[in-house]
């Protein structure tokens, strides 16, 4: 028999907003919104997240700030400080790692930890979860919600079950009872489109998936159907695994004032390419694919890539390719540029011993 697994999913509550509130207690219990966009003081941009107070008015991630303002004229909009949130996140992840047999970060504010080895059964799990929550709260003054179960999807669904600051433990023999009544969109990966498709076939809750054959679900949803069926039936076997090898290296920078001047963009491309080569050399990689990201002053953005004939770690080749991609895209374009990014991917470990960096910055 397979060993019973104990997997936790930890998700910080209203993460960006909570970080802002902990730094300014006067904001506690107020409808706080963290905004991202060109001019958030005038409600131009989007809501990255909303405090739980703001959520009472229907304000949520992804809606325009103007819409949030219409829902509640008293909202307090704060600019996102992503670098700072990342620092806080890194410290939280370090705490989580210290409790884990296996650890997998999923996003800036959520992670899975497998604790099957150190806990062995579900009886004392609540103590461990409280210990984790307390340590995070003591050190960072932030709350999180925790879900626990015998597989990753059950843990993930469970962490969202009792937010904010909830703990939901689903023991192996409770999985069916827990999953059955939930709407299908609770399954990670089931978005609007899939939900509609399932609904059209009379499948609304997870129990309905179970009462349909695996083959039928696959014929409806294609490849992802197999995974969705397995999750619905409590058979998600995927492992908590640490982040895989690095897939890309890239940097993105903003212009203080949007530009139309190509030489200014070139200068940025050169700067970003130097940073990339520096990191590439330090980590011992070569690349094959070059990508640029352009964000215009109207907030739209495009991504363009080209793949070279062989693996390269050369600064000049990178700059030339990035500029070429840029030229192709920007020729005749009237809009100004607000942000430019360069990224290399398709990485392989470089076999040649690391040479001095200065060579690449001549």
By the criterion CB under 5 A, which residues form the site for Mg ion?
A: 11-12, 15, 109
CB 7 within 8 A of CB 112: yes
Instruction: Compute the least distance from the CB of residue 78 to ligand TTP, in Å.
Output: 12
Q: Does 164 contact ligand TTP by CB under 6 A?
A: yes
Residue partners of 248: CB distance under 8 A and separation at least 6: 291, 343, 344, 345, 347
d(Cα 141, Cα 124) in Å, to the nearest integer?
A: 25
Q: Which does 61 bind (CB under 5 to 8 A by kind): Mg ion, ligand TTP, none?
A: ligand TTP
Which of the ranges 5-13, 150-158, 313-321, 339-347 carries the binding residues for ligand TTP, by CB under 6 A? 5-13
Burial class of residue 94, CB neighbours in 10 A (0-12, 13-18, 19+):
exposed
Between residues 162 and 355, which has the closer beta carbon with respect to ligand TTP? Answer: 162
Q: Is 29 exposed, middle or buried (0-12, 13-18, 19+ CB in 10 A)?
A: exposed
Q: Nearer Cβ to ligand TTP, position 164 or 172?
A: 164
Residue 12 interacts with ligand TTP (CB under 6 A)? yes
Task: Mark whether 26 is an active-site residue.
Answer: no
CA 277 to CA 337: how far, in whole Å? 24
Applying CB under 6 A, which part among 107-115, 117-125, 184-192, 239-247 lies near ligand TTP?
107-115
Binders in 61-80 for ligand TTP, by CB under 6 A: 61-62
Alpha carbon 169 to chain centroid distance?
24
Q: Does 191 bind ligand TTP (CB under 6 A)?
A: no
* Residue 109 found at the interface with ligand TTP (CB under 6 A): yes
Among 40, 49, 53, 231, binds ligand TTP (CB under 6 A): 49
Q: Which residue among 45, 48, 229, 290 contacts ligand TTP (CB under 6 A)?
A: 48
Question: Would you say the C-alpha torsion 305, 308, 312, 314 has a positive or negative sign?
Answer: negative
Query: Residue 114's beta-bridge partner residues?
Result: 7, 102
**Burial of 302 (C-beta count, 10 Å sphere; 0-12/13-18/19+):** exposed
- Name the site residues for ligand TTP (rule: CB under 6 A): 11-16, 48-49, 61-62, 108-110, 163-164
The residues annotated with a catalytic role in the active site are 110
């Amino acid at each position: 028999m397979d060993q019973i697994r104990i997997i936790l999913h930890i998700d910080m509550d209203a993460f960006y907003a909570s970080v802002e509130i902990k730094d300014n207690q006067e904001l506690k219990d107020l409808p706080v919104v963290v905004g991202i966009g060109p001019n958030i003081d005038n409600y131009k941009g989007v809501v990255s997240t909303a405090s739980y107070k703001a959520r009472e008015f229907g304000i949520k991630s992804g809606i325009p700030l103007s819409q949030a303002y219409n829902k509640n004229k008293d909202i307090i909009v704060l600019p996102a400080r992503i670098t700072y949130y990342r620092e806080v996140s890194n410290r939280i992840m370090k705490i989580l790692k210290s409790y884990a047999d296996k650890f997998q970060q999923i996003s800036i504010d959520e992670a899975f930890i497998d604790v099957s080895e150190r806990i062995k059964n579900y009886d004392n799990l609540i103590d461990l979860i409280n210990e984790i929550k307390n340590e995070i709260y003591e050190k960072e003054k932030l709350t999180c919600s925790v879900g626990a179960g015998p597989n990753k999807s059950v843990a993930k669904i469970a962490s969202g079950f009792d937010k904010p600051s909830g703990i939901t433990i689903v023991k192996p023999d409770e999985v069916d009872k827990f999953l059955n009544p939930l709407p299908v969109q609770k399954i990670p990966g089931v978005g609007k489109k899939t939900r509609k498709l399932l609904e059209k076939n009379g499948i609304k809750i997870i129990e309905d998936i179970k009462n349909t054959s695996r083959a039928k679900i696959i014929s409806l949803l294609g490849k992802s159907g197999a995974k969705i069926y397995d999750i619905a039936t409590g058979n998600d076997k995927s492992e908590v695994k640490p982040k895989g090898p690095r897939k890309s290296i890239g940097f993105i920078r903003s212009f203080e004032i949007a530009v139309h001047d190509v030489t200014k963009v070139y200068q940025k491309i050169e700067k970003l390419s130097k940073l990339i080569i520096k990191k590439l050399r330090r980590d011992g990689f070569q690349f094959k694919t070059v990508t640029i990201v352009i964000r215009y002053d109207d907030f739209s953005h495009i991504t363009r890539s080209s793949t070279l004939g062989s693996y390269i770690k050369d600064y000049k080749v990178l700059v030339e390719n990035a500029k070429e991609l840029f030229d192709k895209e920007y020729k005749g374009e009237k809009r100004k540029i607000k942000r430019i990014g360069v990224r290399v991917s398709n990485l392989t470990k470089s076999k040649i011993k690391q040479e001095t960096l200065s060579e690449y910055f001549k």
